[in-house]
Amino acid sequence: MQFIAHNLWYNIPVENKEYLSKFKVLEKISSFISSIYNLHRLLNLIMEESKNILKAEASSLLLYDKEKKQLFFEVATGKKGIGVRAIKLKLGQGIAGFCAKEKKIINVKDVLKDRRFFSLADKKSHFKTKSILAVPLTGKRGKLLGVLEVLNRRDGKPFDKEDEELMKIIASQASLTIENAQLYLENVKNARMAGVGETMLSLSHDIKNILNGLVGGVSLIDETMGASSDEYVREGWNIVKVNVNRISELILDMLNYSSKKKPLLQEVNLNNFLRDVIKVYDEKAKEKNIRVEFQLDERIKDVKIDVNGMQRVILNLFTNACEAVSEGAGLIKISTEMGDSMKTYLIKIFDNGVGIPPENLEKIFDVFFTTKGHKGTGLGLPVVKKIVSEHNGDIDIVSEQGKGTIFTLKLPVDPENVKKKK
């Protein structure tokens, strides 16, 4: 039987064998999709086969982060592929970025003659790109998922129309895989968060009632103690007050995260509001002898915010900054800036602290993620992001280890006149 099959294969014309080989590879890709459930491993296999079927020296798959509006390398095959994985591309940046922005196939026969070519990838990987075939990955209703690329045909020829058709087929398979995986992960996350939210909401209301009793007791004992000279009593009582305050902060974060509510907007003078919030809580800074500076844009007058919610945002970011800086050498800058359109404004909180490791930047807004051990709840920054989002705003972070961190809030002057983000 094997002998017959071998003879049949031997007698097939060369050009047909080529097609059959490519068909077998496509069939192989389909089998991967139906049998492998680890998305990263699956995409790696798809790109390896893509590289082989198109006889390319290297291939890569970039996924689109819709929140950051940038592409990142999920897969980069070839001996030098690891060098490009830290690179991020904006829409329209480089051939892959242009392919993503226009959502159309880009076939560049000589990259050196194309002004869109992004040479940083070659510098990072020490790879020499000659030609590129890039195909967009799109889902339902044209949703952008990413870009597939193959680089340099091994025979030295440019990629042709047949290569483009093959890449279209591979891209459609990969798009289906990515979209299904993203949908599954989103459903799992939503179900988990719904359960977490309900649990926190039910617990926080009960604990809040207990907390109200504790706070009342603290006030009563403060009045009773008066100017007592008993140092041990005062020291012990200060410990009680610190821990009551910690419970209070935790409950407020739990309530803010778990409850779905429309912001109760009020007009306030933004710069005065920020000064007042920091003034109330600057004991944290004084304890560590931290310098606090304001650089406030006087063009910003009244803005509409949920006062309690935004106070929570500023407090959480200010507390994080205080914890990040060194005692006696810490600097925190709070600044505001009016947007070009006068319809938006920025609030920036900078600290010259330890900075955030790159591997943690993607996780800091995840619920319960913390690097503070038992001292952290992992709720502070998720609460910040939720409240900013409820104001139809955005939050951005730039951090460098050993130099510091800056959080930037971009908010509308009037959130009610902004279309709700999808």
pLDDT digits (tens, 9 = 90+) for 249-301: 656 666 555 556 677 899 999 999 999 888 877 777 888 889 999 999 999 98
Q: How many CB atoms lie within 10 A of CB 18?
A: 12
Read off the pTM.
Answer: 0.49
What mean pLDDT is predicted for residues 301-323? 89
**What is the percent of the chain where pLDDT is above 70?**
66
Given a cut of 70, whether residue 236 has pLDDT beyond it is no
pLDDT for 104 = 93
CATH annotation of 261-417 = 3.30.565.10
191 has pLDDT over 60: no
Higher pLDDT, 385 or 140: 385
Average pLDDT value for the chain: 77
Q: Quote the pLDDT of residue 407.
A: 94
Residues 332, 349: contact at Cβ < 8 Å?
A: yes
Residue type, 169: I
Distance between CA 156 and CA 159 in Å, rounded? 9
Q: Reduce the DSSP state of residue 299 to 3 states and report it.
A: coil
Residue 267: its pLDDT value, please? Answer: 94
The arithmetic mean of pLDDT across residues 355-384, rounded, is 71
Q: What is the mean pLDDT of residues 219-244?
A: 61
Mean pLDDT over 213-224 rounds to 63
Q: Is 132 helix (H, G, I), strand (E, B) or coil?
A: strand
Going by pLDDT thresholds of 50, 70 and 90, the confidence category of residue 228 is: low
Nearest one of 271, 259, 268, 379 to 319, comparing CA atoms? 379
- pLDDT given for residue 309 in this prediction: 85
Question: pLDDT tens for residues 41-71?
Answer: 777 777 887 888 888 998 888 889 887 889 9
DSSP codes of every residue in 138-199: E-GGG-EEEEEEEEEETTSPPP-HHHHHHHHHHHHHHHHHHHHHHHHHHHHHHHHHHHHHHH
What's the pLDDT band for 369 if we cut at 50, 70, 90? low
Express each pLDDT in 1-41 by its tens digit.
333 334 433 443 444 445 445 555 555 555 555 544 566 77
Give yes or no for residue 352 having a pLDDT over 90: yes
The domain spans of the chain are 2-187, 261-417
* pLDDT at position 3: 37
pLDDT category of residue 134 using cuts at 50, 70 and 90:
very high
Region 157-172: what's the mean pLDDT?
Answer: 87
The predicted structure's pLDDT at residue 17? 45
Compute the average pLDDT of residues 151-167. Answer: 90
Residue 225, pLDDT above cutoff 80: no
Q: Is the pLDDT of residue 387 over 60?
A: yes
> Which pLDDT value is given to residue 334?
95
- If residue 206 lies in a helix (H) or strand (E), which one and from where to where? helix 161-225
Q: Which residue has the higher pLDDT, 221 or 29?
A: 221
Per-residue pLDDT at 335: 95
Give the sign of the dihedral formed by CA 372, CA 374, CA 375, CA 378.
positive
* Confidence at residue 67, expressed as pLDDT on a 0 to 100 scale: 79
SS3 of 307, please? helix
Using one digit for the tens of pLDDT, what is the confidence trace for 95-132? 999 999 999 999 999 999 999 998 888 888 888 999 99
DSSP designation for 226? T
CA distance 139 to 131: 26
Written as one string, the DSSP assignment of 89-124 is: EETTSHHHHHHHHHTS-EEES-GGG-TT--THHHHH
Least trusted range by pLDDT, from 128-142, 187-201, 259-273: 187-201
CA end-to-end distance (rounded Å), the chain: 59
pLDDT over 90 for what percent of the chain?
Answer: 27
What are the φ and ψ backbone dihedral angles of 192, each rounded to 5 degrees? -65, -45
Scanning the structure block, which residue is given the tokens 């109760």? 264
Residue 87 DSSP SS3? coil
Report whether pLDDT(377) > 70. Answer: no
Domain 2-187 carries which CATH code? 3.30.450.40
